[in-house]
């Protein structure tokens, strides 16, 4: 709220500064104008929801409204004549303003009007009040005769914002934990058969080496005294012991499987690196189709037991965005779709499509799960709202998805039918959010 830098009179409950006479209209003053001014003063001082007070050039309170006194825990009479800096800043839990730096004590110097800023006031009982305030100087010629301060209590708002940030961190940690477990499982499977095949190849090598040594013995100079039939019999017995036909069939397969396993691990590592990519504060053009493919690989363990993922990715241009943030949104929607599949039912399907509509890219995440009841569809994007059991969700996934879409100048909408499935539709401008990249 902006305040005109003119002196504000004391409330009806507060005695004005000595010598002031506010009840008698000045000679020549229109009585109706005086009555209107008094009504305006009373409305501001007695009924205004925001706190308002004025100080003199030394920072002493010379008028204060009811709301300000109530928020600070003082009576208006107690505040009159006090240094506002001593009242709200000098306590141990204050924000550390020195008297020289305090905006309430202009000390007769020329000052510029300050816009809204956050501050911490200390109430009479010692508790801390977080406020957003504006400080306007009362200019008299070349000097500042005092200031007008308007403030409001934002303690609850700031606490909610802190909870949202903490919830965002909790949600990311939860997602990281689930991904880590899933990736460990996904990596463990190929590593396991690569290890088994490597041990088999080591045994096969030893067997083939022993067979080769028999061949060398049969063909060496020392075997010249043995009849050819005996040498042939030694070689045949060694081949039978080595099961050469089995080795000839299985060794190439073991090598091929091992190389395939190594490729799978490498693709998972590449996908995780791409998924967790942290771009700079400046948005950059990125391929959202590739982001979706990467997310599907990373989240495979979350989905593969309950649903098949069908990709219908159209030809779309690169989008100016924060790909790391959007990857998190894709992951949330994919995991939510998997969680929506009915337990013990038939295997579900999650279909992800992308297309271009005008200057926007449209992404759809649709499942044939249980659907969302109509009575809670309007609240699913609220922070901390979740239908999952305790320990399975923070209630931040969809709230963050909406926040990320809005940060990109886009939207997210939900269409759902109970018992038939749910579709989340993201619409993002190709050229990013108008007016800025971040």
* Inside any domain, residue 71: yes
Rounded Cα distance between 350 and 72, Å, is: 55
> Along the 438 residues of the chain, how does pLDDT read in single tens digits?
444 444 444 443 443 443 344 344 555 555 566 677 666 677 667 778 888 888 888 888 988 888 888 888 888 888 898 888 888 886 554 455 666 667 776 654 445 555 677 888 888 888 888 888 888 888 777 777 788 888 888 888 877 767 766 665 565 566 666 666 667 767 777 788 788 889 989 998 898 888 888 888 777 766 667 787 787 888 888 888 888 888 888 889 888 888 888 887 887 777 666 666 555 556 889 999 999 998 898 888 888 889 999 999 999 999 999 888 898 889 889 988 998 898 777 889 999 999 999 999 999 999 999 888 887 777 787 755 455 543 444 345 688 888 889 889 999 999 998 888 999 999 999 988 754 444
* The predicted structure's pLDDT at residue 378: 76
Residue 302 backbone zone (phi > 0: left; psi -120 to 50: alpha; other: beta)? alpha
Q: Are 287 and 436 within one domain?
A: yes
* Inside any domain, residue 244: yes
* Inside any domain, residue 399: yes
Q: Tokens 């909790």, residue?
A: 170
* The predicted structure's pLDDT at residue 352: 96
Helix (H, G, I), strand (E, B) or coil at 272: helix
Whose CA is closest to 428, among 299, 281, 330, 309? 330
What CATH number is attached to the domain comprising 382?
A: 3.30.565.10
Q: Are 161 and 105 within one domain?
A: no
Q: Are 53 and 138 within one domain?
A: yes
User: What token pair was written down for 214?
Assistant: 């028999």
Rounded Cα distance between 334 and 331, Å, is: 5
Q: Name 52's bridge partners.
A: 150
Q: Are 251 and 399 within one domain?
A: no
Q: Are 270 and 376 within one domain?
A: no
Q: Are 182 and 241 within one domain?
A: yes
Four-residue CA torsion sign, 228, 229, 234, 235: positive
Q: Are 264 and 309 within one domain?
A: no
Domain span including residue 64: 31-153
Rounded Cα distance between 189 and 4, Å, is: 71
What CATH number is attached to the domain comprising 116?
A: 3.30.450.20
Under DSSP, the state recorded for 43 is I
Last residue of a domain, one of 138, 153, 168: 153
Q: Are 222 and 300 within one domain?
A: no
Last residue of a domain, one of 235, 250, 276: 276
Q: Are 303 and 387 within one domain?
A: yes
* Inside any domain, residue 2: no
CB 365 within 8 A of CB 423: yes
Q: Are 308 and 269 within one domain?
A: no
* Inside any domain, residue 1: no
* Inside any domain, residue 143: yes
* The predicted structure's pLDDT at residue 177: 65
* Inside any domain, residue 376: yes
Q: What is the count of structural domains for the chain?
A: 3
Q: Are 414 and 293 within one domain?
A: yes
Q: What share of the chain is helix, strand, coil (3-state, %, to 5)?
A: 45, 20, 35
Q: Are 130 and 91 within one domain?
A: yes
* Inside any domain, residue 261: yes
User: What token pair was written down for 165?
Assistant: 């940030």
């Amino acid at each position: 709220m902006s305040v005109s830098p003119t002196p504000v009179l004391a409330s009806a409950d507060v005695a004005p500064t000595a010598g002031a006479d506010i009840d008698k209209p000045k000679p020549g003053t229109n009585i109706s104008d005086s009555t209107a001014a008094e009504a305006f003063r009373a409305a501001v001082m007695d009924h205004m929801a925001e706190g308002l007070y004025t100080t003199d050039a030394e920072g002493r309170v010379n008028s204060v409204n009811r709301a300000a006194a109530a928020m600070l825990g003082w009576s208006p009479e107690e505040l009159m004549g006090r240094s506002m800096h001593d009242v709200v800043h000098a306590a141990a839990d204050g924000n550390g303003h020195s008297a020289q730096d305090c905006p309430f004590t202009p000390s007769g110097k020329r000052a510029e009007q300050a816009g809204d800023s956050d501050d911490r006031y200390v109430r009479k009982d010692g508790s801390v009040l977080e406020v957003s305030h504006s400080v306007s100087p009362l200019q008299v010629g070349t000097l500042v005769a005092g200031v007008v301060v308007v403030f409001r209590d934002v303690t609850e708002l700031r606490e909610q914002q802190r909870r949202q940030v903490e919830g965002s961190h909790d949600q990311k940690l939860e997602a990281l934990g689930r991904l880590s477990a899933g990736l460990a499982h996904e990596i463990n499977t190929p590593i396991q058969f690569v290890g088994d095949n490597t041990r088999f190849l080591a045994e096969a090598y030893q067997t083939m080496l022993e067979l080769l040594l028999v061949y060398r013995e049969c063909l060496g100079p020392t075997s010249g005294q043995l009849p050819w039939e005996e040498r042939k019999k030694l070689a045949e017995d060694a081949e039978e012991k080595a099961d050469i036909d089995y080795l000839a069939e299985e060794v190439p397969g073991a090598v091929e499987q091992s190389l395939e396993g190594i490729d799978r691990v490498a693709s998972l590592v590449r996908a995780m690196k791409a998924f967790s990519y942290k771009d700079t504060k400046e948005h950059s053009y990125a391929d959202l189709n590739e982001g979706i493919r990467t997310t599907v690989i990373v989240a495979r363990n979350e989905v593969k037991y309950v649903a098949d993922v069908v990709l219908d990715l159209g030809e779309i241009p690169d989008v100016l965005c924060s790909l790391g943030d959007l990857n998190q949104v894709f992951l949330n929607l994919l995991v939510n779709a998997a969680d929506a599949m009915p337990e013990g039912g038939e295997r579900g399907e999650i279909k992800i499509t992308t297309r271009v509509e005008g200057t926007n890219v449209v992404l759809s995440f649709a499942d044939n799960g249980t659907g969302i009841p109509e009575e809670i569809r309007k609240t699913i994007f609220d922070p901390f709202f979740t239908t999952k059991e305790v320990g399975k969700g923070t209630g931040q996934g969809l709230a963050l998805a909406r926040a990320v879409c809005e940060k990109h100048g886009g939207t997210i909408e939900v269409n759902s039918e109970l018992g038939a499935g749910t579709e989340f539709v993201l619409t993002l401008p190709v050229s990013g959010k108008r007016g800025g990249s971040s």
